[in-house]
A and B are shown apart, each in its own frame.
Chain A
Amino acid sequence: MVYYFNRFRRPAIRFAQGKKWGEGMSGEEIKIGIDKELNLKGKICPYTFIETMLTLEEMEPEEVLRVIVDYPPAACEVPQSLKNEGYEILEVRPMNGTDWVIIVKNKEIE
């Protein structure tokens, strides 16, 4: 599956990703192969993070997971918690008025 997204992000989310404002914000569309989707609409923290982590644990190394959340704090907290656990966050952005998309890459082999 190929997922297209815009690299222009909100400052708060970019901060959570540890990037400075302006960095990588060319606005061009790039594409990333998505290996798995996880719909967490209706779920709140910390279950959003836990279910994301459980899904990643079952995926192959370096596979990419696309997560949809609609609990606003999850858009910041899930990427931050995943980063703390050593996962690479590829993208965080709002999809529409209610949902956010988080794209995360699984760890290399431990």
Chain B
Amino acid sequence: MKFSDEQIHRYSRQMILPGIGGKGQRKLMEAKVLIMGAGGLGSPAAIYLAAAGVGTIGLADFDRVELHNLQRQILHKTDDLGRLKVESGRETVESLNPEVKVQTYSDRIVSANIREIIKGYDLVLDGSDNFPTRFLVNDACYFERKTLISGAILRFDGQLSTFKPHAGGPCYRCLFPEPPPPGMVPSCQEAGVLGAVAGVIGILQANEALKEILGLGESMAGRFLMFNALNLSFHEVKIAKNSNCPLCGENPTIKELIEYLQVCQA
């Protein structure tokens, strides 16, 4: 495949980077990334992946755009109120970069459909807003051997890690074997978030996705990053594969996808 003049111009500022060049740009253009949730994390991630020329971006979200989303979900605009998030997300991505193929999934992601959807992608970004989906995505990525770049935010805090159990690293369940009990999950009223925190973590997820596709730098696999906006601090801890992990450990008890009950959704 030869680059058009327009492509060379569009991607020039990254193609000149060491280790990217034409080969790296081609990898990006052939890459398929699935984004779970077209919300606070998925929005900035989708925008930067599209801008970088990632060939196929999947957007999975069954929600419609509401006014309180617009404080952080930058894929959507005021005119989009009431529309499916995946539709408004598609429009934003395509207007930024018409070369990107956007695939949308507006059905609720459940154990019955997730593996079929994930199969067609190289890597998955989790920007979902609830624990049942988070565990479902992790388990499905493990069974399908897909790299998972997980981001999470609450109030002024954010977290990020990459899970590649198929390459020897830990999975999400190595850290958190089971979803927290309902009482431990912040109530809907408590679950505020600063919009820019979503931006920081979503963009870091895009950054890690680009690195994984390009094979550049140090992967976040086996590392867990914590961000606090008020102190403007980043802390990193090493995480190891858990031999007692119920999913990827030595004696796994989870052999198929589990559907947890969703108590409340912010």
- Interfacial residues, chain A to chain B (CB-CB below 8 A): 46-47, 49-51, 53-54, 57-58, 81, 84-85
Cα A54 to Cα B8 with chains together (Å): 10
A51 lies within 8 A of B8 (CB): yes
Name A57's closest neighbour in chain B (CB-CB). B22
Residues of A within 8 A of B13 (CB): 46
Residues of A within 8 A of B23 (CB): 57
Cα A46 to Cα B18 with chains together (Å): 13
By DSSP majority rule, is chain A's interface helix, strand, loop, or mixed?
A: helix
Q: Interface 1/0s, chain B 1-34, versus A by CB < 8 A?
A: 0010000110011011010011100000000000
- The list of the 4 closest CB pairs from A to B, nearest first, reads A54-B22, A57-B22, A46-B16, A50-B15
Instruction: Taking A50-B8, A50-B15, A50-B16 as given, write out 6 further A-B residue pairs in contact, using a Cβ cutoff of 8 Å, ordered by the A residue number.
Output: A50-B12, A51-B8, A53-B15, A53-B21, A54-B15, A58-B22
Can you list 26 A-B pairs, Cβ within 8 angstroms, ordered by A?
Answer: A46-B12, A46-B13, A46-B16, A47-B9, A47-B12, A49-B16, A50-B8, A50-B12, A50-B15, A50-B22, A51-B8, A53-B15, A53-B21, A54-B3, A54-B8, A54-B15, A54-B21, A54-B22, A57-B21, A57-B22, A57-B23, A58-B22, A81-B16, A84-B18, A85-B18, A85-B21
CB distance from A50 to the nearest CB of B (A): 5
Cα A84 to Cα B13 with chains together (Å): 16
Cα A58 to Cα B21 with chains together (Å): 12
Cα A50 to Cα B22 with chains together (Å): 8
CB distance from A22 to the nearest CB of B (A): 31
Cα A54 to Cα B9 with chains together (Å): 13
Name B16's closest neighbour in chain A (CB-CB). A46
Name A81's closest neighbour in chain B (CB-CB). B16
Cα A81 to Cα B21 with chains together (Å): 12
Residues of B within 8 A of A58 (CB): 22
Cα A110 to Cα B12 with chains together (Å): 23
Name B23's closest neighbour in chain A (CB-CB). A57
Name A86's closest neighbour in chain B (CB-CB). B18
Cα A51 to Cα B255 with chains together (Å): 51
Cα A50 to Cα B18 with chains together (Å): 11
A53 lies within 8 A of B22 (CB): yes
CB distance from A40 to the nearest CB of B (A): 12
